[in-house]
Structures are given as C-alpha cells and as structure tokens.
Amino acid sequence: MRVMFWGTPEFATPPLRALLGEGFDVVGVVTQPDRPVGRSRSSLKAPPVKQVAVEEGIPVLQPERPRDGEFLGQLRSLAPDISVVVAYGQLLPREAIELPRLGTINIHASLLPRLRGAAPIQAAILEGLEQTGVSIMRMVQKLDAGPVILQLGTRVFDDETYGELALRLAELGAAALIESLALIELGKATEVPQDESLATYAPKIDREHTRVDWSRDAKAVARVVRAYDPRPGAVAVLGGQDVKLFGARFAPAPESAHDGEVLSVGEDGMVVACRAGAVRLHQVQPQGKRRMSASDWHRGRGVAPGDRFA
C-alpha cells in the first residue's frame, strides 16, 4: 500500500514513524512550509515531520496552499493508494481528498463526534473530561464529520498537561492508524457514520482563551493552566506585565483570601488564591524572560506573598 502522509507538528511524527516501522511504502510527505523563528525571524525552522522524511529519504511537498495545479500534479505523480492526514493545519480540497484510489483518512485526537475542530486535546482538559481518545475517520469536506473506522480511548489524568496528553494520544493514534490500514487493506474496515446530534466543537485557540480568570474556582483555573502547558502558556498579569503559568495543582486557601492573591512562594511552588480554593504553580515565564521555577522568580524579587494577579 502506497501511503501519502500529511502532517506538520510533533504530534504527527509518531504515526509517521509507525508507518515506516511497519514497512508501509510512504511515497511522500506533505507538510507546511518552513517558518521563520527567533527574534530576528532570520532563520527558518522545518516542521518536525519534514525532518523525519528527510532522514528517511522521502519526498517532501510544502505548498503554501494545497490546492494549486502544480502541487496537485506533483501529488498525482506520486500515485498514492491512500492519504493519511494527521494535524496538517489546512483544509484539503476535494480533488486532493479523492485523488488516492482508497481515498483519505484522518487521525483526530478525540472520540468523535465529540470535540471536532482544531484543539480537541486542550478542550478535553478544559472541560474536565475523564475519558478521551483518538478516532480514525474517512475524510470529507465537512470539518471532522466523516464516518469513523476505529476509535481507541484513554483516561485523562487529573494532573495531566496538554503536552503530556498530546504525547500519549500521538502514540495511541499511531497504533490505531496501523490497525485501520490493515483493516482497509484486507477489505474488512467498517465505516460508522457520526451522530450529528452529539457533535461538539473545540475551536482554534486565540490569546483570550489563555487568560486566567481568578474569579473561577481553583479546579477550573488549574485546568486552564494545564490545557496550555507547555504551549502557548496560560497568561495572568502582575504589575502590568504578562506572566505565563505552568504546573498547576489544586491547593487549599483561607476564605479571607482575595482572587489572584499570592498566598505563599517556596520550593514547592507559588500558591495563588481563586474564588474557591487556590492553585499551586510550579513554574512561570515572566514577560521577556525564560521559563523558570516560581521559587527562582521569588528570589529574583519578581513576586512575593501579598502580590495580586489581575
């Protein structure tokens, strides 16, 4: 089976490596163009899946938009039997979806039809779900709405960050992908339509989503911090400056504490009061500085008990 692989972030590399490890013939990788990085924006960084493809000698296609005639001609010349899409980052045109003889399948990081959209892993944490997983589905032009071939579930742990859950789901997705391709190759895959009445959505993250609201209860605040750890980081304001927060755990707080008040700072983290309870934060990244422990920030006189986050 000749496979065309579409993907961009680190989340996509375990499925790509799994395909190669299982001996699938990956005829090409489609990913986003290299992007400028650093303060000067003078150097380019390749997507993680490109780095894997180059190591393996696999052709790499990096169109700005996956719909121009030249790109589709290149795709056609590689003659894939099936396309696999894993967090590519753009909508595919119908011609690209239907080009392989076996069509296109997608790995989505939720148990569809729940949490369709761009940020299902973050949303699972934000909503306090006890269970999430991955879905292998047939790709159609409606967002994450195609019939499901296979699903694998997993628990969401109480203290799990986005980064930790994403890594586990990437590995789970790799296993589900290999099993699904085997079923397709044998002609034994069953495609189950999604129940539209049960669909929910996880929209793309913008800056406002990452703002911490200290008037919420501590468990909700901790979920916000964990959902954006390590990227892009939950944001609070202290002394007029943005501070990114990481490593949140629930902590008790006196009823007299004010929302956003720093109750203590020590080697075991910084405790900040919420409307109900408090959160213990282990790491911070003050504006314009590196990520550091809360205790180091305290020793550098960046924060002290009695300070209050906005």
Q: Is a pLDDT exceeding 90 seen at residue 114?
A: yes
Q: How far apart are alpha carbons 231 and 226 in whole angstroms?
A: 10
Q: Is a pLDDT exceeding 80 seen at residue 27?
A: yes
- Answer yes or no: are the C-beta atoms of 151 and 176 closer than 8 Å: yes
Q: Is a pLDDT exceeding 90 seen at residue 38?
A: no
pLDDT tens per residue across span 161-177: 999 999 999 999 999 99
Backbone angles phi, psi at 181, to 5 degrees: -65, -35
| C-alpha to C-alpha distances, 266 to 94, 127, 202, 225, 272, nearest whole angstrom | 56, 30, 36, 19, 12
Q: Is a pLDDT exceeding 90 seen at residue 42?
A: no
Backbone angles phi, psi at 282, to 5 degrees: -90, -30
247 phi-psi bin (left φ>0, alpha ψ -120 to 50, beta other): left
pLDDT tens per residue across span 167-226: 999 999 999 999 999 999 999 999 999 999 999 999 999 999 999 999 999 999 999 999
**What's the N-to-C CA distance of the chain in angstroms?**
56
| C-alpha to C-alpha distances, 52 to 3, 4, 11, 135, 284, nearest whole angstrom | 15, 14, 13, 24, 32
Q: How far apart are alpha carbons 31 and 33 in whole angstroms?
A: 7
- Answer yes or no: are the C-beta atoms of 176 and 107 closer than 8 Å: yes
Which domains are seen in the chain, by residue range? Answer: 2-198 (3.40.50.170), 208-299 (3.10.25.10)
Q: Is 109 helix (H, G, I), strand (E, B) or coil?
A: coil
Q: What is the pTM of this model?
A: 0.94
What is the Cα gyration radius of the chain? 22
